[in-house]
Amino acid sequence: MAGHTDNSIVIDAQLDTVWEMTNDLESWPRLFSEYASVEVLKQEGASVTFRLTMHPDEDGNVWSWVSERTPDPASRTVHAHRVETGPFEFMRIFWEYTQEPAGGVRMRWVQDFHMKPQAPVTDAAMTEHLNRNTAVQMKLIKDKVEAAAALDVTA
């Protein structure tokens, strides 16, 4: 059995603004509350291999891993996967950006994964954790992108 999440949020900003802000890896420590740092390790064409390091958790553990991410500006999608999988047998992430008919941009994240047998949590527990945390991170991103977009309009 594998884990699967599918979450989205509508951001009241132009598609280009949402795309550019959320695909600027170097800004992720300011965009997400959980990331302490991002280090770009390699870039080949559109694909970027990078290390994400989180802020220490409540037990003082610092989690870090390497991922590869390939954005496609033409389709407004991103495919990513963990290169250093840690407790996951695999972790694949799909980002999709769509213009909403009523206005705004729907940013959607789909995560498919499977935990290693020795992992401290099951697929079900990780699904629950990711769904909870994704809602928090998406709300933060929405607020930050909308605030930046409002500044662009008034400047």
Structure tokens at 115: 């935990």
1 pLDDT band (50/70/90 cuts)?
low
Would you state the torsion angle of the CA atoms of residues 10, 12, 14, 15, taken in this order, to the nearest 10 degrees? -10
Look up the domain containing 90 and give its range. Answer: 3-24+67-154
Question: Is pLDDT at 114 greater than 80 in this prediction?
Answer: yes
104, amino acid identity: G
102 within a domain of the structure (yes/no): yes
Residue 80 parent element (H or E) = strand 77-82
Give the pLDDT score at 61. 86
**Mapped to the 3 state alphabet, what secondary structure does 115-155 carry?**
ECCCCCCCHHHHHHHHHHHHHHHHHHHHHHHHHHHHHHHHC
Query: What does the pLDDT read at residue 155?
Result: 45
Name the DSSP class of 25: G
Domain assignment of residue 14, yes or no: yes
Amino acid at the residue 30: R
Percent of the chain at pLDDT > 90 equals: 92
Q: What is the CATH classification number for the domain harbouring 95?
A: 3.30.530.20
Number of domains in the chain: 1
